[in-house]
Amino acid sequence: MIDPRDIPPDPLFVQRGHCTLELSTRGRDELLRSVIGCANREAGASENLAELVSEILDISETQISTIMSEHALSVHQWCPVLDEEFLSKGKGGEYDSGPPHLPPRLVLLLCVFMLTRRSCAHVEHVSTSTLYTALKQVSAIGQATGEDLLDVFRMSMLVAIYECGHGLSRQAYATLSSCVGLFNLIQLDMQNPTYRRCSEETFSSLKAAIIMLDRMIPLSAISNSLPIVCPTKQPLSMSIASKIEPQIPPPSPTPYASSPRKVHIKPLWLSKRDEFLNILMLFSTEGSLQKRTTI
């Protein structure tokens, strides 16, 4: 009789037909188990999660400094969700040495990994990607625990960016809606002196990131005529508009995506984007009306 302990475990990654490697069922289950263990503060859960993330990146032949640098030069430029220190350390190679040196925000690292991976050629695989669906579940676990909402918000935003960039506009709209709810809770928590506060500069940058992504989602699926989550008269949009000063702040000595200058310029660009969206929506509506009258 075969001892179950002698049976090798399933791999963390499996080949999905002729596509790229995909997180296996075992990988998904171990990820969720480790995240739940961390949420319950189980002994050794953080170490297990660090080992798992390290193994996932090793198997996929991914170096953290490479994906962080790629993220910093692409997504982070128009939607700065990650804080600059975390990004800078990642780009600098501080997390490349394995589990002892991995950052505490391991799930954010997996989100960046998901965003920078080569897209699958099969459209149907995008929405059924095991890593994507697992990270959606991890986000739900984070919201259920109600702790570290800022990191949960950042993770959910990265998931929404993935959805927006891969044609999952309806999913992106739903995810961003939950992000706005999380952000409102964070604003309430920041009134508590004991809350782990972020700087006003970071907070303004996150607001701009929400509005930026909110305007991108309808443009990625204009045929569906998706509404925006934060209309111009919504408090978050009005808060951004109220911070726009007559003069553009000078360039920072070291340019970065969430600098006051870039946070100032983005809302000005978004105001033009709102006008453009209204025109597109009008044409879309007129087109649908014309079809009905001709039928």
Residue 251 lies in a domain: no
Better-scored residue on pLDDT, 171 or 102: 171
- Residue 283's pLDDT is 47
Residue 28 lies in a domain: no
Task: State percent of the chain over pLDDT 90.
Answer: 40
Res 90 pLDDT > 70? yes
Residue 196 lies in a domain: yes
Domain that holds residue 215: 66-94+102-115+128-221+229-245+259-295
- Strand, coil or helix: what is 9? coil
Residue 48 lies in a domain: no
Please tell me the number of Cα atoms within 13 Å of 40 on its side-chain side: 10
- Per-residue pLDDT reduced to its tens digit, 102-137: 877 899 999 999 999 877 766 676 778 899 999 999
Cα angle value 92/179/35 (rounded, 5°): 60
Residue 40 lies in a domain: no
Residue 17 lies in a domain: no
Residues 20, 16: Cα–Cα separation, whole Å: 7
Res 144 pLDDT > 50? yes
DSSP string over 130-194: HHHHHHHHHHHHHHHHT-SHHHHHHHHHHHHHHHHHTT-HHHHHHHHHHHHHHHHHHHHHTTSTT
- Residue 266's pLDDT is 52
Residue 153 lies in a domain: yes
Q: How many domains does the chain have?
A: 1
Residue 215 lies in a domain: yes
Residues 2, 23: Cα–Cα separation, whole Å: 28
- Residue 197's pLDDT is 66
Res 159 pLDDT > 90? yes
